Chain A
Amino acid sequence: MKKIFPPTLLFLSPWLVTLTLFWLFPLFYSLYLSFTDYTILNPHPNLIGLKNYLTLFSDPDFLTALKNTSLFVFGTIPFTTIIALFLALIVNQKLPWKGFFRAGFFLPSITSMVVIALIFTNLYARDGYLTLLCSLLGVPTPEKGFLFSTATALPSIMLMDVWVSFGYYLLLYLAALQAIPTELYEAAEISGANFWQKFWHITLPYLRPMTLLIVLINTIRSFQIFIEIFVMTKGGPLNSTLTVVYLVYENGLVRFQMGYASAMAYVLFFIIMIFSLLQMKIFGLGKGIEE
């Protein structure tokens, strides 16, 4: 039995090395950086206490980015969740081609985000398909295209995000729907429950843990929106699509203000943590998830 320990340590070593070198060390190192004035020109950083954090909250770019990111998160998640739930309920009916629908809906979510963002850049352009479609339907379109107007750029990216991501959550809802014991529905039918009563008293309560999980995953993901911004707008026009992670990238890797960018990243990190914990609290950290 004594011989077992060394091979076990060997088995575990890939994770021990990755966890330490590529997760824990970067996490703590950037926490340290966030209290310094580190830039690439000044590789011997001075500790400057909370200065970066204090500067952040008077930095108009950061406040704009925070506002845009919040708009993006709270403006997409309710729609994505409701659309995913609604379509999952329909796909789960005894319709033909169920697997086909499920597959078709989640295909965009396994496609490269860069590719998706490029396609929508084309569709949203001044002479793009969506712009043309809108003008045919009599909907006013911005002169230079959807992504070049401060009023429409962020909503256009939000619409794209709902489009690209709902299929994944639909897949999760379908999995949860299939886990509801059918006997429950049969029993309800015997006692004369109608469609809505069944939905309200059986389906929705059973979907609660999955809804928490979906909102949670989506919150963590959405707060970090970057690729779409980088490919489609670079934060423009006039900072109207500037997001926090885009600003972290710009400050840290374009202007090399690494201390400042780390502080920014950490503020977002804490915002995400707080929202995750709040959601767990509101939805109740149900036993369903633990199981």
Chain B
Amino acid sequence: MKKLARIVLFIFLIIILLGTLFPLIWMFYSSLFPQTISLASLTDIFRQKFTFKNYAEVFSQIPFGKFLFNSVFVAVLVTLGNLLSCSLVGYAFARKSFPFKRSLFFSVILVLMIPVHILIIPLFILIKFLGWYDTYLALIVPWLVNPLGIFLMRQYIEVLPKDLEEAARLDGAGEFKILFSVVLPLSKPALAVVAIQVFLANWNSFLFPFILTSSENMRTLPVALALFQGYQTIDWPHLFAASGLATLPVLILFLFFQRQIVAGLTAGALKQ
């Protein structure tokens, strides 16, 4: 392609990228000022003084520490649970033969496509019935087996060479030992993709944590942020500081595990 055309395209992409990132930059930027930035003119935003005070105040003025704990606790447990469950199920689908295998695997794919809004009412009633409403159990147990995770593990394990497993079997290793000491060590790349995919989805999850809890103590960060407006008139600097803190783990994962994130986002779609 001609050099000029490439320069034009490059500049065009830069402009679009700035537009794409502007709202996120705006959030972090606004969180650094003591009051809501008053926009008498567009250049006013350059005149004020930076402060990190809002970030400290978020912890003292709202129970931010509790929300943060809830989010971390739930996301970590759900991620660990999925690593175990998706390994077990994915391994069975990749290596074992059993009755109804095809239809059972089809159910994994089908669940991936089901519009989840259909679960709002019945899951609410079920969780109430089980006595899990407004507890960690409601935030964790239903999400311990992610169909996308099963799918990713199955795809990965299926193409691993079988000789090591067979050698271990000849040595008298049991099924669990084969899975945990032969298959899973070879599946680390897939486990990383599953972990990051599940963690991100759970960290950002709003709908079900919102409808399955009621007390302030049980709120995860997205729920707390969405209900923050109810506290008073909107206090943007603090709300943005809290939102920024909630976004930080996503940014960190994004910086260090971009390859796994892309693999998770595309693999699910590509292979359906």
Chain A residues proximal to chain B, CB less than 8 Å:
4-5, 7-15, 17-19, 21-23, 25-27, 29-30, 33, 87, 90-91, 93-97, 99, 101-108, 110-123, 127-129, 132-133, 136, 163, 167-168, 171-172, 175, 213, 217, 220, 223-224, 226-227, 230-231, 245, 248-249, 252-253, 258, 261-262, 265-266, 268-269, 272, 276, 289
Asked if residues B17 and A14 are in contact (CB atoms below 8 Å), the reply is: no
Residues of B within 8 A of A21 (CB): 126, 142
Residues of B within 8 A of A120 (CB): 23
CA distance A51 to B207 in the complex (A): 28
Docked complex: B213-259 residues within 8 A CB-CB of A = 221-222, 225-226, 229, 234, 236, 239-240, 243, 246-247, 250, 254, 258
CA distance A121 to B229 in the complex (A): 11
Chain B residues proximal to chain A, CB less than 8 Å:
1, 6, 9-10, 12-13, 16-17, 20-21, 23-24, 26-27, 30, 38-39, 42, 84-85, 88-89, 91-92, 96, 98, 104, 107-108, 111, 113-126, 142, 144-145, 150, 174-176, 179, 200, 203-204, 206-207, 210-211, 221-222, 225-226, 229, 234, 236, 239-240, 243, 246-247, 250, 254, 258, 261-262, 265-266, 269-270, 272
Asked if residues A26 and B225 are in contact (CB atoms below 8 Å), the reply is: no
Q: A104-B17, A248-B121 are in contact. List 19 more A-B contacts (CB 8 A).
A: A7-B174, A7-B176, A12-B89, A15-B145, A18-B142, A21-B142, A22-B142, A94-B1, A108-B20, A112-B222, A112-B247, A113-B204, A114-B206, A114-B222, A119-B240, A129-B42, A172-B266, A231-B229, A261-B120
Asked if residues B225 and A105 are in contact (CB atoms below 8 Å), the reply is: no
Residues of B within 8 A of A26 (CB): 118-119, 122-123, 126
Residues of B within 8 A of A19 (CB): 107, 111
6 A–B contacts, CB within 8 A, in A order? A4-B175, A22-B126, A30-B119, A117-B226, A245-B117, A269-B115
Asked if residues B120 and A249 are in contact (CB atoms below 8 Å), the reply is: yes
Contacts A104-B20, A118-B239 hold; do A27 and B123 have CB atoms under 8 A apart? Answer: no
Chain B: which residue is nearest A96 at the CB level? B10
Asked if residues B13 and A29 are in contact (CB atoms below 8 Å), the reply is: no
Residues of A within 8 A of B269 (CB): 172, 213, 217
Contacts A129-B39, A265-B117 hold; do A110 and B98 have CB atoms under 8 A apart? Answer: no
Closest Cβ–Cβ distance, residue B175 to chain A (whole Å): 4
CA distance A119 to B246 in the complex (A): 13
Closest Cβ–Cβ distance, residue B123 to chain A (whole Å): 5
CA distance A95 to B7 in the complex (A): 9
Contacts A8-B96, A95-B6, A112-B247 hold; do A107 and B254 have CB atoms under 8 A apart? Answer: yes
The 3 closest A-B CB pairs, nearest first, are A26-B122, A14-B85, A11-B92
CA distance A56 to B189 in the complex (A): 49
Chain A: which residue is nearest B259 at the CB level? A99
Chain A: which residue is nearest B201 at the CB level? A110
